Amino acid sequence: MTLSKLALVSLCALAAALPSCSKKSAEPPRGAAVVLALDWVPEPEFGGFYAARELGAFGRQGLDVEIRGGGAGAPVVQLVAAGQVQFGIAGADEVITARARGADVVPIYATFQTSPQGIMAHAARGYKTLGEVLKSGTLAIEPGVAYSAFLKKKYGGFGATLVPYDGGVARFMTDPALAQQCFVTAEPLAAKKKGGDPQVFLVADEGYNPYAAVVIVKKSTLTDHPDWVKGFVTAAREGWTSYLATPAPTNAVMQKLNPSMDAETFASAAAAEKVLTESADTTAHGLGAMTRARWETLGNQLADLSLVLKAPPVDDYFVALP
Amino acid sequence: MRGFRTLAPPLVALALILATWEVLARALQIPAFLLPPPSAVARATLAELGDLALAASVTGRAALYGFLMSACVGTLVAIAMSSSRILERAFYPYTVFLQTVPIVAIAPLLVLWFGAGLRSVMVSSFIVSVFPVITNALSGIRSVEPALRDLFRLYGASRLSTLTKLELPAALPAIVTGLRVAAGLSVIGAIVGEFVAGFSESGAGLGIVILSSYRQMRTDLLFSAVLFAALLGLVLFGAVNLAGHLLLSRWHPSARNP
């Protein structure tokens, strides 16, 4: 924090001292050093953020963004709330849960308007609805995720045996009776690639649709660094617009960081993201748009599921995009 | 009076630690999702006592089975190795491999091999806890006094009676030491196994409670689950100690009260 402030101060001093030289300087000005913590490894679901970095969109907004990959259970919300990183990626339901537990984080940009979260089963089982999938066999799902509680309530419990999701598709490939959680942009593509027959049911279609890949900041950042927030959103929008149109250059960069995913999967995942990132709201207000009504609905759903005691007041955390 | 003298120091230490923790957590206003004060952990424990006890029984069963497997297999392997230098040289290095196996990395494979549930969790517990049993039992058997061995040989004792009448009794203190280490490790192994291989709806163990409360940012409940895991370890450790005491107290100085 002090380091970034120092960087800002010295940058201002430099700009003031050398007003005439600054234009000639070949070095682009270094912005405020901030970190964006991801909740998963570099994958197409973060494509727009990597694109924003590669295109220099963050730099043009005075931000020097370091993107830090995570893994299963990466404590992104906690890191942001504790001020150890400035920006983080989390699901909308995690944001509300975190607020209910006293972590003062707020959302500023909602990447996915339709949650990519789904359940994938083997097509050979011939299911028509998600309800049928949940009735029998094995279901691999992360313990404690909100949509699991939602599905359990909606269908009056699970007939399937629940086991923890392990982050891959190996078990899916060997067990014909196994269904598992997935991001529609990730696991089904990997399974198909390996010769599997995944059939995906979106949780959003079941009536539970939290924003996904939501950018969060500590609430105090809104007042302490409004320029960061505004700049980040502008750059993210630019990055995502570019990424959805031409994902290939950014995919090449991400693939170096995550060689376990091949180029073809990167490309098909990126193509699948377009419909998920766009909505009536984004048409009206630009990519990443959020509405008060959707946050309110989600808060009430989580309270209904007893995952939070009561929905946190929306106006405490909802800010209209700049 | 003696009971009081044994129990008082650890209890006073516990009270001091808890009091310091509570005061610091409040004074520094540490958010409860980062580090809950003991009072919050106590509240969560009481509120979820039934579920925690159930989870502990699931994990405890897997840990106990894993531990018993370690005790049997570990001792048998040690006996086999002690009977031949060649066997020992051939296989001992691979038992060290067991100790260094990153269980988190192979736990997903256990599920593929054994299916989800008790069997995988038990095997995970076994893998983590077997090495100290082997190495301690082996060193115990190896440390039998040569003079006693000579005596047995002189009287023409069979291999079996040398084993049961000399080597195993002499190695017992070392075996008990190995089992003590294995007791705690078997609980750790079971919990890590559950992270990947446990059932998470009906019959959820402590590992699942830990994952789920982490996901929900219920750090207080997470600490409760950790507390129960520690208690499980203590119970197993206590049982080993008791068994060791009963077996050794009549003749071995390590188990005699001063």
- Could you report the per-residue pLDDT of A2-26, keeping only the tens digit for each? 444 444 444 444 444 444 444 444 4
Question: Is the per-residue pLDDT at A161 higher than 70?
Answer: yes
Cβ contact A189:A265 at 8 Å: yes
Cα gap A236→A259, rounded to integer Å = 24
CA–CA distances in Å: residue A320 to residues A125, A279, A286, A315:
44, 16, 12, 10
Chain B residues touching residue A142 (CB < 8 angstroms): 211, 215
With a CB cutoff of 8 Å and minimum separation 6, the contacts of A152 are A158
What is the pLDDT confidence band of residue B257, given thresholds at 50, 70 and 90? low
Environment class of B2 (CB within 10 Å of its CB; exposed 0-12, middle 13-18, buried 19+) = exposed
CB pairs under 8 A between A and B: 76
Tell me if B31 and A145 make a contact (CB, 8 A cut-off). no
Shortest CA gap B52–chain A (Å) = 15
Shortest CA gap B23–chain A (Å) = 19
The structural architecture, per CATH, of the domain B34-255 is: Orthogonal Bundle (1.10)
Tokens of A322: 């700049």
Cβ contact A96:A312 at 8 Å: yes
Cα gap B106→B100, rounded to integer Å = 12
CA–CA distances in Å: residue B44 to residues B36, B48, B212, B215, B221:
10, 6, 14, 16, 5
The ipTM is 0.79
Cβ contact B142:B82 at 8 Å: yes
Report the Cα–Cα distance between both ends of chain B, in Å, rounded. Answer: 15
A87, amino acid identity: F
pLDDT for B232 equals: 96
pLDDT for A168 equals: 84
Tell me if A144 and B111 make a contact (CB, 8 A cut-off). no
pLDDT for B24 equals: 93
Residue A81, CB-side half-sphere exposure with 13 Å CA sphere? 23
Q: Between A81, A170, A307, which is nearest B216 by CB?
A: A307
Residue B15's SS3 state is helix
Shortest CA gap A151–chain B (Å) = 13
Q: Does A103 touch chain B (CB under 8 A)?
A: yes
What is the pLDDT confidence band of residue B256, given thresholds at 50, 70 and 90? low
Instruction: Of A232-241, B39-48, B103-112, B186-195, give the lowest mean pLDDT range.
Output: B103-112
Tokens of A73: 């259970």
Q: Between B111, B199, B218, which is nearest A162 by CB?
A: B199
Cβ contact A200:B244 at 8 Å: no
Q: Which residues of A31-41 are buried (b: 16+ CB within 10 A; e: fewer)?
A: bbebbbbbbbb
Cβ contact A42:A66 at 8 Å: no
Q: What residue spans of chain B are helical by DSSP H?
A: 2-27, 38-47, 49-82, 85-100, 103-114, 118-142, 146-154, 159-162, 168-197, 206-215, 219-248
Tokens of B79: 């006996």
Chain A residues touching residue B213 (CB < 8 angstroms): 144
pLDDT for A19 equals: 40
Q: Does A259 touch chain B (CB under 8 A)?
A: no
Span A47-71, pLDDT tens digits: 999 999 999 999 999 999 999 988 7
pLDDT for A222 equals: 94
Question: Is the per-residue pLDDT at A154 higher than 50?
Answer: yes
Shortest CA gap B31–chain A (Å) = 7
Cα gap B189→B123, rounded to integer Å = 8
Q: What residue spans of A246-317 are helical by DSSP H?
A: 248-257, 263-277, 280-285, 292-304
Chain A residues touching residue B112 (CB < 8 angstroms): 170-171, 174
Tokens 């006293």 belong to residue: A102
Q: Does A135 touch chain B (CB under 8 A)?
A: no
As a whole number, mean pLDDT of residues B118-131 equals 94
Q: Which domains does chain A have, with CATH numbers?
A: 31-114+210-316 (3.40.190.10), 117-206 (3.40.190.10)
Span B68-85, pLDDT tens digits: 999 999 999 999 999 888
On average, the pLDDT of chain B sits at 90
Question: How many percent of chain A have pLDDT more than 90?
Answer: 78
Span B145-165, pLDDT tens digits: 999 999 999 999 998 999 999
Q: Does A77 touch chain B (CB under 8 A)?
A: yes
Cα gap A275→B175, rounded to integer Å = 63
Q: Between B34, B204, B216, which is nearest A82 by CB?
A: B34
Chain B residues touching residue A170 (CB < 8 angstroms): 108, 112
As a whole number, mean pLDDT of residues B202-226 equals 92
On average, the pLDDT of chain A sits at 89
Tell me if A97 and B212 make a contact (CB, 8 A cut-off). no
Chosen from B26, B28, B30, B33 to mutate, greatest number of chain A CBs within 10 A: B33
Chain B residues touching residue A158 (CB < 8 angstroms): 201
pLDDT for A20 equals: 41
Span A65-117, pLDDT tens digits: 999 988 777 889 999 999 999 999 999 999 999 999 999 999 999 999 999 99
pLDDT for A25 equals: 42
pLDDT for A288 equals: 95
Paired with A214 in beta bridges are A90, A110
The residue of chain A with its CA nearest to that of B106 is A166
Q: Which of B76, B199, B207, B183 is nearest to B126 (CA)?
A: B183
Cβ contact A103:A115 at 8 Å: no
Q: Does A205 touch chain B (CB under 8 A)?
A: no
Shortest CA gap B118–chain A (Å) = 12
pLDDT for B2 equals: 64
- DSSP for A161-227, written as a single string: EEE---SSSHHHHH-TTEEEEEETTSHHHHHHHTT--EEEEEGGGGT----EEEEEEEHHHHHH-HH
Question: How many percent of chain B have pLDDT more than 90?
Answer: 68
Residue B81's SS3 state is helix
Span A259-298, pLDDT tens digits: 988 898 899 999 999 999 999 999 999 999 999 999 999 9
